[in-house]
Structure 1
């Protein structure tokens, strides 16, 4: 029942954010839309920002599903774009409010997990230090989230599939090459 209630509260917040800015939405608005009382809201969430965090943590992570391998990571990244596009008003409303931090935190977290899994897979038979792998993961995390944030900032008008195609042209195979360079450096040192 708890997950059902959380999902219902999340849906109410998303519904309200289609017509109101986040700063104008109250807990009373959410519980009225959801048909529960304030106590129920506070049983599950500390405040509206905790609910917003729950939405992004659960939904952004789940949209990538199993697309976190070297062969499929672009599909996982595309799924993030498509989720953001499907939740256009929620995302823009959050981006243009003090809730922006919640959005960015969860984009960084989701993309980090995506890239980490890819780097871990590619480096499995390589002699690359954890520090070097972490650097590669963070480099791509910041680059990819930068693309997402710029796309959001420009009102999400560019086609996500075109962005992924362009991204693929620019960095196809680069994660592997970066790890190879790290491995070569590591071998020179030892």
Structure 2
């Protein structure tokens, strides 16, 4: 029942975002359009931004599907870029009504989970402390989200395939290099003294 109510609110929000910005949508609008009581909304969400977070997380999970591996993350990212372009009105209405920080916080958990699973799948990651894997995943998460938000801000002009190709040029193979560097760092157990050139 809870998932049905959440899904109903998300469906209404998605429909309303096709015609007006998030800043002009109220909980009363969502309740009226969904046929659910206003207090039901607050049982599931703190505010509309909480609903956006839930909706974005669910959408990203669905869009990525099984593309969460070392060999398929590029397909997952391509699917995200294509979905953003296809739903550009919704995406722009959300982005224009939220701060960049709010959008980053909304995207971060799903993207970080994807990248963490890609890193953990790499056989070289065995024996690396969880905090180091989390650091590597966070680093790449912020890089990916930053690139994607810049792409949205610039009007989504570049083709999704080109964006993923460019991201792969930077990130492809660098997971293994980062893991190797952290293994060396962990093995040495000594303070960082600067780049080894």
TM beyond 0.5 = yes
Deviation at 1:175, TM superposition (A): 0.7
CA distance in 1, matches of 2:84, 2:133: 28
Q: Secondary structure at the match of 2:20?
A: coil
TM-score when normalising by structure 1 = 0.86
CA distance in 2, matches of 1:65, 1:77: 11
Q: Secondary structure at the match of 2:23?
A: helix
Residues 119 and 125, structure 2, Cα contact 8 Å, conserved in 1? no
| Residue 183 (structure 2) pairs with residue 183 (structure 1) | yes
CA distance in 1, matches of 2:140, 2:123: 15
| Residue 74 (structure 2) pairs with residue 74 (structure 1) | yes
CA pair 131-43 structure 1, distance change in 2 beyond 3 A: closer
CA distance in 2, matches of 1:39, 1:126: 48
Deviation at 1:123, TM superposition (A): 4.6
The CA RMSD over aligned residues, in Å, is: 2.3
Structure 1 stretches lacking a partner, 5+ long:
none
CA distance in 2, matches of 1:99, 1:29: 22
Q: Secondary structure at the match of 1:74?
A: helix
CA distance in 1, matches of 2:139, 2:75: 19
CA pair 23-126 structure 1, distance change in 2 beyond 3 A: closer
| Residue 16 (structure 2) pairs with residue 16 (structure 1) | yes
Structure 2 stretches lacking a partner, 5+ long:
191-197
Deviation by residue 1:86-130 (Cα, 9 ceiling, x = unmatched): 332222111111365443212111111111111111155644333
CA distance in 1, matches of 2:171, 2:38: 49
Q: Secondary structure at the match of 2:68?
A: coil
CA distance in 2, matches of 1:11, 1:186: 47
